[in-house]
Amino acid sequence: MSKSMLIVMQLEELFLARSFLDGPVGLVPTMGYLHAGHISLVEKAGLECKGVIATIFVNPTQFGPTEDLEKYPRNIDGDLKLLEAAGVDVVWMPTAQIMYPPGYQTWVDVENMTKPLEGSMRPGHFRGVTTVVAKLFNATRPDRAYFGQKDAQQAAVIRQMTRDLSYPIEIIVCSTRREADGLAMSSRNSYLAPEQRLAAVVLFRALNAAQSAYKEGERNAERLRQVVRDIINLEPLAKLQYVSCADYETFQELEVVNSKALLSLAVFMGATRLIDNFILE
Amino acid sequence: MSKSMLIVMQLEELFLARSFLDGPVGLVPTMGYLHAGHISLVEKAGLECKGVIATIFVNPTQFGPTEDLEKYPRNIDGDLKLLEAAGVDVVWMPTAQIMYPPGYQTWVDVENMTKPLEGSMRPGHFRGVTTVVAKLFNATRPDRAYFGQKDAQQAAVIRQMTRDLSYPIEIIVCSTRREADGLAMSSRNSYLAPEQRLAAVVLFRALNAAQSAYKEGERNAERLRQVVRDIINLEPLAKLQYVSCADYETFQELEVVNSKALLSLAVFMGATRLIDNFILE
């Protein structure tokens, strides 16, 4: 149990490290700057798997040209301490040059379910996500892979890709971890100024209010979306980008909620874009 | 050595069969109707690997709407006898329904090198090839995979995909097997009427003549292409679709051959489309 964590960068080092792991092997892909949400994934992987691989890679192909790739927060030393304490066996930290060498020209695309919601707001985002996750799956050959529910559409897209591309991998989606006031944990929360941080709880409050309406019997999707809009609009520091009440499988907007649904939103707090969601069922 | 060959269809059966194999594992993907070229791949895999998986799947997504998917030749019983005699451990024969279930929506695309040659003549062909080969790689997790040099661009595209998508798989390309008169072996040769079969040797003769010119010092790519054209045009049963003298890495057409090059052609014998190639180096 006191074996030390292997940290590898090159692909050949990873392949060698992987060959030493007994199965089942769990994979936890991250972009670093880890918080308790990431660690809950690692801990779940540790409970369910004999070997745990975590990856840290800020994947440039999933950022749009106007997005926050350059300033995405990093804290490698802190991340490695957290991963080692959580019992990770191998950390793979490739460079962009290793992942996308000169002449790179291959892309993995999931079609229909990447069109709405985050896909419509962030063109090319999911192509970057599915391509890099396919690469992580191929290079690490896990039995299980762990993702967070906060990125609900991402988790569903990866589940679809995994099934479509015949991977022998179980996709495990873990519930969103929240701060004491309800704000969903996110590396991007570190961008928030103190007054924005306080105001950011409005996402959780809006989702909560809509969920209460749902529990009290409201099934009209537009009225549920309006509950969210009304609360976000009361917060002067928040600007709603979208609110969605969509089918949980297809992400098509609903008129009436009569099966499992995803209530989700994206909000700008200044230049910082936050997302969150609740499942209605 | 007398263990019997496992034949599986469902994905879960394959995963189980794969788990019993010791590595290194070799994969030989085929569309069935096997000839000595396929068997040479299986035999090479058997020499280099502890476990050999062969797949038989006529992949609908790599056929264009006007192509020969429906009439593609099949001989499952004969194929299985050949594979067992060649020492294959596991044969995976999925159905189209298993490979592309309802709701399927994921594609693997290699961009630049799929544009010229076969890619330009068969739109969507390589997207189908790379998608199905990625699925075969994911489902079987081989250490080595074996392809024939007759489909030279396909082999290069798969090599590129393998590198780009970080697969820990070695791509091994085996030389083209030929009939006694030089015709490249192909399942599609079975379409040829007797007089077409005799005439089909013109592909080999044309490539041979151009290679002789190259060996005698001809480095002008257009003159090498013209050698091929002149010989094909002398055969009334043959209709040249394209002849190419291209860079071996990029498949861009050359003016002067001063590095490794691919001399390739596609010829219609009636409705039957045949391809062949020589490497110039």
Residues A215 and A255 in one domain: yes
Query: In the predicted model, is pLDDT for residue A234 greater than 60?
Result: yes
Note down the domain range covering A119.
6-174
Q: Please give the mean pLDDT across all residues of chain A.
A: 97
Is the confidence metric ipTM above 0.90 for this complex?
Answer: yes
A111–B113: do the CB atoms touch at under 8 Å?
Answer: no
d(CA B11, CA A223): 44
Same domain, A86 and A10: yes
Residue that terminates a domain, selected from A131, A147, A174: A174
Whether B95 contacts chain A with CB within 8 A: no
Within a domain: B213:
yes
What is the model's pLDDT at position B40?
A: 98
- Kindly state whether residues B111 and B211 are assigned to the same domain: no
- Residue ranges of the alpha helices (H) in B20-75? 36-48
Q: Is the same domain home to A13 and A97?
A: yes
Both tokens of B62, joined, read 């790599």
Taking an 8 Å cut-off on Cβ atoms, the answer to whether A130 and B106 are in contact is yes
Shortest Cα–Cα distance, A144 to chain B (Å) = 14
Query: pLDDT band at A1, cuts 50/70/90?
Result: very low
Q: HSE-up of A99 (CA within 13 Å, CB side)?
A: 25
pLDDT at A253: 97
Q: Is residue A180 part of a domain?
A: no
Provide the CA A241 distance to its chain's centre, in angstroms: 18
Task: State how far the Cα of A277 lies from the Cα of A273, in Å rounded to an integer.
Answer: 14
Quickly state the pLDDT bin for B281 (edges 50, 70, 90): very high
Give the other-Cβ count within 10 Å of A216's Cβ.
Answer: 7
Note the residue count of chain B: 281
CB atoms within 10 A of CB B116: 18
Cα A161–chain centre separation: 15
Task: Tell me if B182 is assigned to some domain.
Answer: no
Residues A13 and A100 both lie in one domain: yes
Name the residue with tokens 């804290």. A75
Q: Does residue A40 sit in the same domain as residue A141?
A: yes
- Residue at B51: amino acid letter: G
- Token look-up 């250490």 returns B143
Query: Coil, helix or strand for A194?
Result: helix
Q: How many residues does chain A have?
A: 281
In this predicted model, what pLDDT tens digit does every residue of A123-168 receive, in sequence order?
999 999 999 999 999 999 999 999 999 999 999 999 999 999 999 9
Res. B1 pLDDT band, cuts 50 70 90:
very low
Number of domains into which chain A is organized: 2
A87 and A197 share one domain: no
d(CA B249, CA B232): 26
Same domain, B22 and B128: yes
Question: Do B158 and B57 fall within a single domain?
Answer: yes
* Pairing mode, strands A238-247 and A261-269: antiparallel
Are both B17 and B146 inside the same structural domain? yes
Is A179 a domain residue? no
Distance from CA of A262 to the nearest CA of B (A): 19
Q: Quote the percentage of chain B above a pLDDT of 90.
A: 99
Q: State the average pLDDT for chain B.
A: 97
Please check whether residue A111 is in contact with residue A119, taking contact to mean a CB–CB distance below 8 angstroms.
no
Can you give the CATH number for the domain in which B65 is found? Answer: 3.40.50.620
Q: Is the Cβ pair A166, B138 closer than 8 Å?
A: yes
* Residue recorded with tokens 């290069």: B156
* Structural domain contains residue A197: yes
For residues A18-30, give the mean pLDDT: 97
Q: What is the pLDDT of residue B78?
A: 98
Query: Which candidate, A85, A24, A80, A79, places its Cα nearest to that of A52?
Result: A24
- Put simply, the chain B residues between 133 and 152 with a CB less than 8 A from any chain A CB are 134-139, 141
Cβ pair B72, B49 in contact under 8 A: no
The token duo for A145 is 């892979």
Question: pLDDT at residue A2 above 70?
Answer: no
Residue B33 lies in a domain: yes
A160 touches chain B (CB under 8 A): yes
Task: Confirm or reject contact between A25 and chain B (CB < 8 A).
Answer: no
Q: What b/e readout covers A53-62, taking b as 16+ CB neighbours within 10 angstroms?
A: bbbbbbbebb
Name the pLDDT band for B35 (thresholds 50, 70, 90). very high
Query: B105 vs A110: CB contact, 8 Å cut-off?
Result: yes
Q: Domain boundary at A130, A149, A174, which? A: A174
Q: For residue B252, give the amino acid letter.
A: Q
Residues A125 and A149 grouped into a single domain: yes
Query: Could you say which of B121, B146, B174 is where a domain stops?
Result: B174
Q: Does any domain span residue A196?
A: yes
Residues A103 and A216 in one domain: no
Q: Is B38 annotated in the active site?
A: yes
Per-residue model confidence as pLDDT tens digits over A78-118: 999 999 999 999 999 999 999 999 999 999 999 999 999 99
pLDDT at B138 exceeding the cut of 80: yes
CATH of the domain at B214: 3.30.1300.10
pLDDT digits (tens, 9 = 90+) for B206-221: 999 999 999 999 999 9
**Does the residue A23 lie in any domain?**
yes
B168 and B143 in contact (C-beta within 8 Å)? yes
Instruction: Give the bridge partners for B243, in sequence order.
Output: B265
Query: What value does the mean pLDDT take over residues B48-72?
Result: 97
CB–CB contact B134 A168 (8 Å) = no
Options B28, B30, B38, B153, the catalytic residue: B38
